[in-house]
Amino acid sequence: MDWSTLIAGLLTLAILTFLYRDNPLYKIAESLLIGVSIGYTLVIVWSSTLVDLLFDPLFSQGKMALLIPFILGLLMFSRFHRRTASLSRIPIAVMIGSGAGISIPVMVEARILKQMSATVAPLFNSSGIPDISSLVIITGVICTLGYFYFSREQRGLLGGISRIGTYFLMIFFGTTFGYTVMSRMSTFIGRMEFLLTDFLGLTR
Amino acid sequence: MKLEQRHWVFLGLFILITLVMLIKVRPDISVSNQTRKMYAYIDSLPSGSILLISFDHEASSLPEIRPLAQAVLSHAFEKGHRLIGMALFAEGTAIGYRMMQDVAAQYGRNPGTDFVYLGFKPQFIAAILAMGESFEQTFPEDYLGNPYRSHELLTTVSNYDDIAAMISIADGSLTTHWIEYAGSRYNLTVLGAVTAAMVTTYDPYLASGQMTCMVGGLRGAAEYESLLGIEGGGSRGMLAQTASHLYIILLVVIGNVIYFRSRRGSK
């Protein structure tokens, strides 16, 4: 067994001890995980963002246009002093403005228009037979929207619609929860496979 | 050492999974339509097509992501497709590089001509949009620092127009950005290989056709492996997955019986 497998195995066992109760072994493994993750991310971001995209092109290749994002970036730190704090609004305004400008048209297209057109698909197919999927989708959307309509008291027809809406919501939450349990189990099974195969050598 | 009720539940699950994993039985796996569709799509592309693979996940989801990624990469390399790898999560960078190297070596594929790994790019929206204009300007160098033009594979790739499809291997919502920015704006075909927890997030995009097809979770990996005729992490874990689900269902039933009995008793 190599050192990396030994360390990974011991740390996996240390994390699993949390299932009994919180303890120093778990704390060590947890702190190591967070520390290594942040350290790794910092190094990657430093080299691939600040060095590759800013420092190298600006100071080595003399791309002076990059002075603008460089200064905007520095202005972010003006928040640390009360007298200069207002300057930080400039880069924040640029970020929010450009972000909104890029995102709004895309969001309207991808999340509203395309989703709406998929929702209002023909309810009958070419041979005149009702399309069950389309009927379920349109019923679900209308009833769920009815559930979130709070401008009128939910009684009578609206009450009935919103009740059906809650069933659709419950089905969605149940499905999502089921998939999440499956996902977490897969993670656990993956670690167990590592422990039994690589670490303990019980299965080959 | 005092054991409480929840400890017995954990202990039961631990013993069950250990026993099941020691038994080398592989259950029959029925393949879902979605997995079939994904397989058929990659299979239908002409050999030598260029696919963009983005490793949009963290290290914590590796037990679920690895079998998925290995199955999809195996299929792509087996079909003779050429792959460009990258990552939008810093943590996925080295994992993606290693996985691509390993699977490429299994199929005798060469770096530079059959596959290239470009590495990590921060600010995912900016990166996705920039690649729509120019891959070279977004990644002037590959993961190892070699110039973009030094790879034979990349000499014919300018932007998404030269890519047959992209596959986002994700444990979060980054695939959404591929769909919304690269798919909607540049008409790039987006496929997904995602963790089970994210399947319901992407179902509406499948229904609307914004995402072409998707394979999800350990189950999806097992299905894909069965289509490929290989044994990987997916099929190895399926019996344990089934047993753990039956165990949870049993606990839910027992919990409900106890609850209703105690309620009737209190009346």
A28-42 tens-digit pLDDT: 999 999 999 999 889
Structure tokens at B76: 């792509």
Confidence (pTM)? 0.88
Identity (one letter) of the amino acid at B52? L
More confident residue, A52 or B116: B116
> By the CB < 8 Å criterion, does A65 face chain B?
no
In B, which residues are within 8 Å of A187 by CB distance?
60-61, 63-64
Q: Would the CB atoms of B217 and A179 count as touching at under 8 Å?
A: yes
Q: What is the mean pLDDT of chain B?
A: 92
Mean pLDDT, residues B83-103 taken together: 93
**A203 within 8 A of A12, measured Cβ to Cβ:** no
* CA dihedral over B146, B152, B154, B158, signed as positive or negative: positive
Query: Does ipTM surpass 0.90 in this model?
Result: no
From the list B134, B135, B234, B85, the residue with the least C-alpha distance to A186 is B234
Whether the pLDDT of residue A26 is over 90: the answer is: yes
Number of Cβ within 10 Å of residue A23's Cβ equals 11
The C-alpha atoms of residue A192 and residue A200 are separated, in whole angstroms, by: 10
> By the CB < 8 Å criterion, does B208 face chain A?
yes
> By the CB < 8 Å criterion, does A84 face chain B?
no
Q: Tokens 């303990």 correspond to what residue?
A: A200
The C-alpha atoms of residue B74 and residue B237 are separated, in whole angstroms, by: 18
DSSP lists the bridge partners of residue B192 as B168, B214
How many alpha carbons lie under 13 Å from residue B64 in its C-beta half-sphere? 31
Q: What tens digit of pLDDT does each residue of A100-115 get?
A: 999 999 999 999 999 9
Lowest model confidence (mean pLDDT) among A55-69, A124-138, A157-171: A124-138
Give residue A204's pLDDT: 65
> By the CB < 8 Å criterion, does A22 face chain B?
no
| 3-class secondary structure, B229 | coil
Predicted confidence band of residue B183 (pLDDT cuts 50, 70, 90): very high
